[in-house]
Amino acid sequence: MLRKELINQIESKKSLICVGLDTDISKLPNHLPKDINGMLQFNKEIIESTKDFAVSYKINTAFYEQYGTKGWACMEETLSYIPDNCFKIADAKRGDIGNTSKMYAKAFFDTLAFDAITVAPYMGEDSLKPFFEFDNKWVICLGLTSNQGSKDFQTLQFDEKPLYEHVLTKVSEWGTPENLMFVTGATKAKTLASIREILPNHFFLVPGVGAQGGTVLDVCENAKTSFGGLLINASRSILYASSGEDFAEKAKEECQRLQQDCF
93 is catalytic: yes
The answer to whether 117 touches 128, Cβ cutoff 8 Å, is no
Q: What pTM was estimated for this model as a whole? A: 0.96
Pick the CATH number of 3-260 from 3.30.420.40, 3.30.390.30, 3.40.50.1110, 3.20.20.70: 3.20.20.70
User: Are the C-beta atoms of 234 and 255 separated by less than 8 Å?
Assistant: yes
Alpha-carbon distance of 95 to 11, in angstroms, equals 32
Specify the pLDDT at position 189: 72
Helices and strands (H, E) in the chain, number of each type: 11, 10
pLDDT in tens, 5-37: 999 999 999 999 999 999 999 999 999 999 999
User: Which residues lie closer than 8 Å to 76 by C-beta, 6 or more apart?
Assistant: 112
Q: What is the dihedral of CA 145, 147, 152, 155, to 10 degrees?
A: 40
User: What are the tens digits of pLDDT across the range 189-215?
Assistant: 779 999 999 999 999 999 978 656 678
Across residues 70-93, what is the average pLDDT? 98
Q: Indicate the burial class of 72 (C-beta count within 10 angstroms; 0-12, 13-18, 19 or more).
A: middle
The one catalytic residue among 13, 14, 44, 93: 93
| Cα gap 261→263, rounded to integer Å | 6
Domain locations in the chain as residue ranges = 3-260
Are 186 and 207 in contact by the 8 Å Cβ rule? The answer is yes
Find, among 17, 13, 2, 3, the residue nearest to 207 by Cα: 17
Identify the band that residue 41 occupies on the pLDDT scale cut at 50, 70 and 90: very high
- For residue 211, the model assigns a pLDDT of 59
The enclosing H or E element of 7 equals helix 3-13
Q: 166-169, long-range: CB within 8 Å, 24+ apart, which pairs? A: 167/121, 167/141, 167/142, 167/143, 168/143, 168/144, 168/195, 168/198, 168/199, 169/198
What's the whole-number average pLDDT of the chain?
95
Overall average pLDDT of the 41-57 stretch: 98
Indicate the pLDDT class of residue 147, thresholds 50, 70 and 90: confident
The average pLDDT across 65-75 equals 97
Residue 247 scores a pLDDT above 90? yes
